[in-house]
């Protein structure tokens, strides 16, 4: 039992980051049954990214440069899979026609204007939000933001319906209310520990973002996919950081 748990945890690190711990289909299957580990990996990601930001903030004392450092660290450490999911989600949402045409647009490997706009707005939003976070708060804010984003991914996987077989369906089909509650308990504890009320507000905003993305996906595609889950991560992280700025500046 413990061996399977540790295997799933290692696979979670391999799936959600670029850390070379190894990943396999067996590992993804084990992770799919324990998606409550997403926020746990999110805490690790936030700690690493926030540490880079804290060092940049302390040494360079430039909010703009710190924003660039953190955004670079985010996509260096986590890869661009989720950002690619956001791009595909944007293409699908703005496409005209039936659900089938929207799904085809989402699965098209070419970047469309919808995806480009979604990604540009998100990255600009990250740059602005991180630059406005108060001095000394960046480490804790990034931990809370990454935990919240991963809880949002868990939430949409728990309550969404898969629209086609694939990597996303492995996560969606084996995730339910029990996994959602387990992840939420951990996420709430971490967010409260690092930023108290602000941390919980960040988590609450991420769960709201997940709900909105789910409704948009259901309306446009009739369900969710791995691209939609990835998009949820990007949108939830941004919203959580914007909430941190609004309540803590």
Identify the pLDDT of residue 23: 78
More confident residue, 174 or 192: 192
Query: For the whole model, what pTM was predicted?
Result: 0.93
**Domain span holding position 169:** 2-248
Rounded percentage of the chain residues whose pLDDT exceeds 90? 58
pLDDT band at 248 (very low <50, low <70, confident <90, very high): low
pLDDT tens column, 6-39: 877 888 898 899 988 877 778 778 887 888 999 9
Paired tokens of 57: 């903030």
pLDDT of residue 213: 97
Number of structural domains (the chain) is 1
Q: Are 108 and 129 within 8 A, CB to CB?
A: no
Place of tokens 């396999």: 24
Whether 113 shows a pLDDT value over 70: the answer reads yes
For 117-137, write each residue's pLDDT tens digit. Answer: 999 999 999 999 999 987 678
Going by pLDDT thresholds of 50, 70 and 90, the confidence category of residue 109 is confident
CA-to-CA distance for 12 and 41, rounded, in angstroms?
Answer: 7
Beta-carbon contacts of 22 under 8 Å, excluding residues fewer than 6 positions away, are 10, 14
Comparing 173-177, 198-202, 209-213, 237-241, the range with the smallest average pLDDT is 173-177
List, as one string, the DSSP characters of 80-116. SHHHHHHHHHHHHHH--S-HHHHHHHHH-SS--HHHH
Q: How confident is the model at residue 77 (pLDDT cuts 50, 70, 90)?
A: very high
CB–CB of 72/216 below 8 Å? no
Task: Write the CA distances from 220 to 72, 95, 118, integer angstroms.
Answer: 32, 9, 16
- For the cut 90, the answer to whether the pLDDT of residue 240 exceeds it is yes
Percent of the chain residues topping a pLDDT of 70: 97
Instruction: Please tell me which residue, 207 or 172, carries the higher pLDDT value.
Output: 207
């Amino acid at each position: 039992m413990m061996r399977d748990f540790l295997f799933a945890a290692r696979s979670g690190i391999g799936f959600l980051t670029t850390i070379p711990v190894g990943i396999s289909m067996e590992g993804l299957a084990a992770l799919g049954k324990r998606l409550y580990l997403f926020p746990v990996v999110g805490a690790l990601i936030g700690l690493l990214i926030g540490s880079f930001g804290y060092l940049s903030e302390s040494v360079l004392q430039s909010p703009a440069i710190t924003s660039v450092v953190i955004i670079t660290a985010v996509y260096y450490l986590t890869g661009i899979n989720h950002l690619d999911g956001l791009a595909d989600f944007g293409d699908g949402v703005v496409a005209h026609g039936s659900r089938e045409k929207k799904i085809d647009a989402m699965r098209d490997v070419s970047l469309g204007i919808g995806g480009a706009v979604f990604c540009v707005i998100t990255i600009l939003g990250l740059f602005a939000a991180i630059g406005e976070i108060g001095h000394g708060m960046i480490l804790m804010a990034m931990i809370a933001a990454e935990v919240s984003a991963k809880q949002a991914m868990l939430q949409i996987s728990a309550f969404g319906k898969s629209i086609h077989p694939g990597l996303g369906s492995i996560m969606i089909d084996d995730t339910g209310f029990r996994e959602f509650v387990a992840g939420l308990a951990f996420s709430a504890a971490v967010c409260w520990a690092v930023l108290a009320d602000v941390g919980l507000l960040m988590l609450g905003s991420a769960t709201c973002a997940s709900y909105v993305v789910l409704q948009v996906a259901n309306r446009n595609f009739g369900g969710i996919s791995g691209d939609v889950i990835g998009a949820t991560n990007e949108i939830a992280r941004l919203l959580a950081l914007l909430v941190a700025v609004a309540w803590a500046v």
